[in-house]
Amino acid sequence: MLYRDFATQEAIDREYDPMRGREPAAILADWQARSQKTVRERCRVSLDVAYGPTLAECMDVYHAEAEDAPLHLFFHGGYWRSLGHREFGFVAEGLVEAGISVAVVNYALCPTVEFGEVVRQARAAVAWAYRHGASLGVDPTRLSVSGHSAGGHLTAMLLATDWQDVYGLPDDLLEGALCVSGLYDLRPFPWSWLQPKLQLSGRDINDYSPLFLPCRVPAPVRLVAGGKESAEFAWQMQAYTEHLEAQGVAVGAELLPGDDHFSILDHYAPGELLARQVAAFHDT
């Protein structure tokens, strides 16, 4: 077997194909239009705020009306090798309406950079927000994070970060984390169509699979996946849920029966499930 009960690359590719009959060009066009028309024209936005020294290390910040609002950092998907922050501004609308500023984070993509560099940049974005968030008019002590697909993996890696010893920041710097259709066990990907782009080594699998790492951040965690996604996305969520529960983490998981890998992001809309879950992280 290559991975668990998968004996062929074709079987792995089939289970980790998020499109499953969807048209990628149409999905991307919809996201771009929604980000432009429903968010950028309604919110005050600071574009391409640098959080690191390279051009890829930037974020678009969508500002809530109140000064010193909490800040939520969103990490986009694309299997670590495609897309960018500009397509995902639409996820900010519901949170801004709830009084939460949102940073949609960009990062460099594989294979332009090694896989570990993507993880490092995600961590750098959070560290920058904690240290410099006041310059954005937000409360840097009230941070939360979420991510979709590969971004869900990066969100889980933030929970596995030793913030105190590596960054000199408090381990409790996050008020909550939401992983949407995340990928927590990287073992299938060296056997998949993604490997030429990701170039994952055995060490990468061990170092960057949240399923094999301790959770170091004492924050509530919420996991969701779509019932119309392949069974592997549900398995990844359940395995990571059990991993967190075994460590005493306050975690909740939910499979949304009507959603696929892309429609699930509609739940960031005003009043919808994911917007409510993030807002609950900041309830006092």
Residue type, 179: C
Supply the pLDDT for residue 38: 64
Tokens of 154: 């990066």
Contact between 152 and 77 (Cβ < 8 Å) = yes
Whether 193 maps to a domain, the answer reads yes
pLDDT class of 21 with cuts at 50, 70, 90: low
Distance CA 60, CA 56 (A): 12
Q: What is the largest CA-CA distance in the chain?
A: 55
Supply the pLDDT for residue 284: 52
Region 23-32 average pLDDT: 85
Whether 4 maps to a domain, the answer reads no
Encode pLDDT of 56-87 as tens digits.
Answer: 999 999 999 998 999 999 999 999 999 999 99
Q: How many domains does the chain have?
A: 1
Q: E-strand spans in the chain? A: 44-50, 58-63, 69-75, 101-105, 138-148, 174-180, 221-226, 251-256
pLDDT class of 51 with cuts at 50, 70, 90: very high
Place of tokens 């890696």: 157
Encode pLDDT of 199-244 as tens digits.
Answer: 999 999 999 999 999 999 999 999 999 999 999 999 999 999 999 9
Whether 229 maps to a domain, the answer reads yes
Q: Which domain holds residue 225?
A: 9-281
Q: Which backbone phi and psi does 254 adopt, to 5 degrees?
A: -145, 135
Encode pLDDT of 260-281 as tens digits.
Answer: 999 999 999 999 999 999 999 9
Q: Does residue 125 register a pLDDT over 60?
A: yes
Whether 3 maps to a domain, the answer reads no
Whether 1 maps to a domain, the answer reads no
Supply the pLDDT for residue 54: 97
Encode pLDDT of 101-124 as tens digits.
Answer: 999 999 999 999 999 999 999 999
Whether 19 maps to a domain, the answer reads yes
Supply the pLDDT for residue 191: 97
Tokens of 72: 């939520």
Whether 267 maps to a domain, the answer reads yes
Q: What is the CATH number of the domain that holds 188?
A: 3.40.50.1820
Strand partners, 223: 179, 253
Whether 123 maps to a domain, the answer reads yes
Q: Does residue 19 register a pLDDT over 90?
A: no
